[in-house]
Homo-oligomer: A and B are copies of this chain.
Amino acid sequence: MQDQPSYLFPLPHTSLIAALAQHVTLSQEEEAAFLAICEIREAKKKEFLLHTGQPTRALYFVQKGCLRSFIVDKAGKEVNLEFAVEHYWISDIGFGKPALLSIQALEPTQYVQINIAAFEQLTQGYPVFNLFFRKLLQNGYFAFKKRTLSGMTQTAAENYRDFLLKFPDLSQRIPQYHIASYLGITPEFFSSIKSEGLDLYQQAIS
Contact = CB atoms under 8 A, between A and B. Distances in A.
B130 A134 contact: yes
Q: Is the interface of A mostly helix, strand, loop or mixed?
A: helix
Contact of A152 (B71, B94, B138, B149): B71
A55 to B, nearest CB: 13
A137 B148 CA distance: 17
11 contacts: A71-B152, A72-B153, A73-B152, A74-B152, A79-B152, A93-B141, A95-B138, A130-B131, A133-B134, A134-B137, A137-B138
User: Interface size for chain A: under 10, 10 to 19, 20 to 34, or 35 or more residues?
Assistant: 20 to 34
Nearest to A137: B137
Interface of A: 71-74, 79, 81, 93-95, 97, 100-101, 123, 127-128, 130-131, 133-134, 137-138, 140-142, 144-146, 148-149, 152-155
